[in-house]
Amino acid sequence: MTSKPQPTYPFVPRSTAALLPGQFWGIPLSDGTFGCGRVIELKAARVVGARVSFLAAVMDWHGDKPPTADSIAGAKCLAQGKAHLKSITETGGSILGYRPLALDNIEPWEFRGAEFHVNSYVHKGLQPLRPQQPEDNCLPVLSIWGYHVPMVIAERHFTKAAK
Residue 23 has pLDDT above 90, yes or no: yes
Average pLDDT rounded to a whole number, residues 17-43: 95
Tens-place pLDDT, residues 87-135: 999 887 899 999 999 999 999 999 998 776 667 889 999 998 999 988 8
Provide the number of structural domains found in the chain.
1
User: How much is the pTM?
Assistant: 0.89
Asked whether residue 110 is domain-assigned, the answer is no
By C-alpha distance, which of 151, 139, 114 is closest to 36? 151
Residues with Cβ within 8 Å of 5's Cβ and at least 6 positions away in sequence, in order, are none
Domain assignment of residue 151, given as a range: 19-101+145-158
SS3 annotation, 44-62: CCCCCCCCCEEEEEEECCC
Asked whether residue 115 is domain-assigned, the answer is no
For residue 29, the model assigns a pLDDT of 95
Asked whether residue 119 is domain-assigned, the answer is no
By C-alpha distance, which of 115, 62, 107, 101 is closest to 80? 107
- CA–CA dist 38, 163 (Å, integer): 24
Asked whether residue 122 is domain-assigned, the answer is no
